[in-house]
Amino acid sequence: MGFASVMGKVQDLTGSASDAVSKVLDDFNSALPTFRALGFNVRDLHVSVGVPPEVSAKLTAAAADVDVSALDDLIKKKSEQKTLVAILKALQTAYNVRDQLGDLGLKGVEIDVVLGLLPKISVGFVKSEAPPVPA
């Protein structure tokens, strides 16, 4: 197999990966209004160009401002938005774990989302409160 043939396969793979990331990115973009309504803002956004490409974002909020009781309803109402539902379920799980541990003085909540061929969601609680969402 020649170099040109290998490069052609890499370009095909990159194009397919790019298409997959674009779809997940569209899903994430449509989820942002829901997260803003929950009190989150986008703190960081990173784009990694490579094979596979990735987009990562960090959403932050004051932990006390998130209405955890609304998460079940949102998951049911927005069931067709797979990225949103995955993030909401991760958030719900993190709050359940935090509640079992008791008050640790953790005032902020951060959601790290990595969108790519294999999406990754991480939710953490931090000592400092997130800055307020701009009006």
Tens digit of each residue's pLDDT (9 = 90 or more) over 17-65: 566 667 777 878 888 899 999 999 999 988 887 777 788 899 999 988 8
pTM: 0.75
Q: What does each C-alpha distance from 90 to 47, 49, 94, 104 come to in angstroms?
A: 22, 26, 6, 20
DSSP string covering 75-107: HHHTTT-HHHHHHHHHHHHHHHHHHHH------
In the block, residue with structure tokens 């990562």: 56
> Cα(7)–Cα(64) distance, rounded to whole angstroms?
51
pLDDT at 132 over 60: no
What are the pLDDT digits (tens) for 80-107?
Answer: 988 889 999 999 999 999 888 877 888 8
